[in-house]
């Protein structure tokens, strides 16, 4: 059984390709979009402050809950609050460049 010859689907600039089912020709874009320079991708200083503050507060709330220092003794709500603060810190970490 002979194998069918595969063709490349690579689009060359300015050349059109025909879809398999017929139809209209798709042309490659001639417009070049340069990448954003690294100097423009800088976070504002408050992002790092918020990141570490939320992570630190989350760890502190969980630690104080286990030491039963917080009012009301050990509670699952304090654990939930600590985890929510830490999740906010991780969310801020995804915004930091």
- Render the burial of 63-87: b for 16+ CB within 10 Å, e for the rest: eebeeeeeeeeeeeebeebbeebbe
How confident is residue 10, by pLDDT bands cut at 50, 70 and 90? low
Stated as kind and residue range, the H or E segment containing 26 is strand 26-27
Instruction: Find the DSSP H helices in the chain.
Output: 45-66, 76-95
Cα dist. 55→29, 50, 74 in Å?
Answer: 45, 8, 20
Per-residue pLDDT at 17 exceeds 90: no
What is the residue-averaged pLDDT of the chain?
82
User: Across residues 71-92, what is the average pLDDT?
Assistant: 95
Tens of pLDDT, residues 37-56: 877 778 888 999 999 999 99
């Amino acid at each position: 059984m002979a194998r069918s010859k595969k063709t490349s689907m690579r689009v060359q600039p300015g050349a059109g390709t025909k879809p398999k089912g017929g139809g209209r020709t798709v042309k490659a874009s001639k417009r070049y979009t340069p990448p954003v320079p690294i100097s423009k991708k800088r976070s504002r200083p408050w992002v790092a402050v918020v990141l570490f503050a939320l992570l630190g507060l989350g760890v502190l709330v969980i630690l104080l809950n286990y030491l039963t220092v917080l009012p009301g003794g050990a509670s699952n709500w304090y654990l939930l609050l600590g985890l929510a603060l830490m999740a906010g810190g991780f969310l801020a970490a995804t915004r930091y460049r």
